[in-house]
């Protein structure tokens, strides 16, 4: 089976397993796990922030960030297809008692400065006030588009001019940086906090990082505890994360493979394929007469897994555990499945 459901399906290699076994550990809730401390310092460096916090999942990282930036009852401005509002069980309402105001970020999933200014709400006797703007890069639901740093800057500056902090859901921000051939810290330069996943294309088995100013991370650490994410000898899982930080440049292989898959699939009768910018390939199945679910069932029978994104849209994601040959093989199997 060629598993292209997500870049989260990678399994740790021998080096990561060795690192886990040999990790120096301590109680991280007391701040005494040297491996976690090193990971937090190096992750902060990568994104050009003062400090960082190791969290079990990207979802927890985003939700801790939202909670840390806001006060109960405020509004959060967020793109309507963004992960934080679409795929996190309404966590902003459930965990932080916030109201969400969504913006349409268009094809690239990022609001313009004008939109930010228009949707900003000033606090008064009747209105709750805007407490946070969230952005996403790469934008998952838009097909892994790598948003240019300048667009992130523009939206973020508009918010910050209004006194509104900005959180970047950068689950795949390293993919965005590689696609634009800039250091990761360039993409995160003008936001107040960023979450990124070690457990996706970077290949770690577990974990995400939440970075920001020292004061932000200090408060985020309390909220991580509140949300049940204070871990003890977490160096065992953080050690592979240190190796994952070395894999940023490797992501370009996934991007090449995504392009190869898209090119091959574009040649299949009835499939329409969005040009991939990173490691995500969106395929529209409408002209084949199949729904995405029917299409994916046929793919599975042919030995390829993907995920359903919309009635007629399926997603394939390239990652460390599939190479060029696997991708060529997958494209052939998918072609046979559709044309059968």
Residue numbers of the site for ligand PLP (CB under 6 A)? Answer: 57-59, 62, 83, 136, 140, 169, 171, 197, 199, 208
Q: How many CB atoms lie within 10 A of CB 50?
A: 13
**Dihedrals phi, psi of 75, to nearest 5 degrees:** -100, 145
Judged by beta carbon, residue 149 or residue 201, the one nearer ligand PLP is 201
Judged by beta carbon, residue 70 or residue 137, the one nearer ligand PLP is 137
Least Cβ distance, residue 263 to ligand PLP (angstroms): 24
Least Cβ distance, residue 92 to ligand PLP (angstroms): 13
**Dihedrals phi, psi of 139, to nearest 5 degrees:** -90, 115
In sign, the C-alpha dihedral spanning 295, 301, 302, 306 is positive
SS3 139: strand
Least Cβ distance, residue 229 to ligand PLP (angstroms): 11
Judged by beta carbon, residue 147 or residue 338, the one nearer ligand PLP is 147
Least Cβ distance, residue 269 to ligand PLP (angstroms): 31
Judged by beta carbon, residue 57 or residue 112, the one nearer ligand PLP is 57
How far apart are alpha carbons 53 and 210 in whole angstroms?
Answer: 5
How far apart are alpha carbons 167 and 195 in whole angstroms?
Answer: 8
Least Cβ distance, residue 336 to ligand PLP (angstroms): 30
Least Cβ distance, residue 119 to ligand PLP (angstroms): 21
Cβ–Cβ < 8 Å for 131, 115: no
Judged by beta carbon, residue 55 or residue 330, the one nearer ligand PLP is 55
Tokens 């228009």, located at residue: 118
Judged by beta carbon, residue 35 or residue 62, the one nearer ligand PLP is 62
Least Cβ distance, residue 299 to ligand PLP (angstroms): 21
Angle at 261 (CA atoms; ends 259, 264), nearest 5 degrees: 105
How far apart are alpha carbons 141 and 118 in whole angstroms?
Answer: 24
Least Cβ distance, residue 171 to ligand PLP (angstroms): 3
Judged by beta carbon, residue 58 or residue 212, the one nearer ligand PLP is 58
Q: What are the residues whose beta carbons fall under 8 Å from the beta carbon of 309, sequence distance 6 or more?
A: 141, 282, 292, 315
Judged by beta carbon, residue 74 or residue 140, the one nearer ligand PLP is 140
Judged by beta carbon, residue 171 or residue 238, the one nearer ligand PLP is 171
Cβ–Cβ < 8 Å for 131, 121: no
| Partner residues linked to 145 by β-bridges | 139
Cβ–Cβ < 8 Å for 47, 247: no
State which residue has the least CB distance to ligand PLP.
58
Least Cβ distance, residue 126 to ligand PLP (angstroms): 33
**Closest by Cα among 187, 155, 142, 171 to 84:** 171
User: Residue 304 has which token pair?
Assistant: 């390829």
Cβ–Cβ < 8 Å for 98, 92: yes
SS3 169: strand
Angle at 182 (CA atoms; ends 318, 61), nearest 5 degrees: 65
């Amino acid at each position: 089976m060629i598993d292209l459901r997500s870049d989260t399906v990678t399994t740790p290699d021998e080096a990561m397993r060795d690192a886990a076994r040999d990790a120096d550990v301590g109680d991280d809730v007391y701040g005494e796990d040297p491996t976690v401390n090193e990971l937090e310092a190096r992750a902060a460096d990568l994104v050009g922030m003062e400090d960082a916090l190791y969290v079990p999942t990207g979802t927890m990282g985003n939700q801790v960030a939202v909670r840390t930036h806001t006060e109960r009852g405020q509004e959060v401005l967020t793109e309507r297809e963004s992960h934080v509002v679409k795929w996190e069980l309404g966590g902003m309402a459930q965990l932080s008692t916030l109201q969400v105001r969504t913006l349409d970020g268009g094809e690239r999933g990022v609001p313009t400065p004008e939109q930010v200014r228009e949707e900003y709400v000033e606090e008064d006797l009747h209105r709750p006030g805007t407490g946070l703007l969230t952005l996403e890069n790469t934008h998952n639901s838009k097909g892994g588009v790598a948003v240019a740093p300048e667009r992130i800057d523009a939206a973020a500056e508009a918010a910050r001019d209004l006194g509104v902090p900005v959180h970047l859901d950068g689950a795949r921000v390293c993919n965005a940086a590689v696609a634009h051939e800039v250091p990761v810290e360039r993409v995160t330069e003008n936001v107040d906090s960023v979450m990124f996943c070690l457990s996706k294309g970077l290949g770690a088995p577990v974990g995400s990082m939440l970075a920001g100013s020292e004061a932000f991370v200090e408060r985020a650490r309390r909220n991580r505890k509140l949300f049940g994410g204070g871990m003890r000898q977490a160096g065992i899982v953080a050690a592979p994360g240190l190796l994952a930080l070395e894999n940023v440049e490797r992501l370009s292989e996934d991007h090449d493979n995504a392009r190869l898959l898209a090119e091959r699939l574009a040649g299949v009768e009835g499939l329409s394929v969005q040009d991939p910018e990173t490691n995500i390939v969106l395929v529209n199945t409408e002209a084949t007469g199949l729904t995405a679910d029917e299409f994916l069932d046929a793919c599975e029978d042919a030995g390829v897994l993907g995920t359903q994104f919309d009635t007629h849209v399926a997603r394939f994601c390239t990652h460390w555990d599939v190479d060029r040959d696997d991708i060529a093989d997958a494209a052939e199997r998918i072609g046979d499945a559709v044309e059968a």
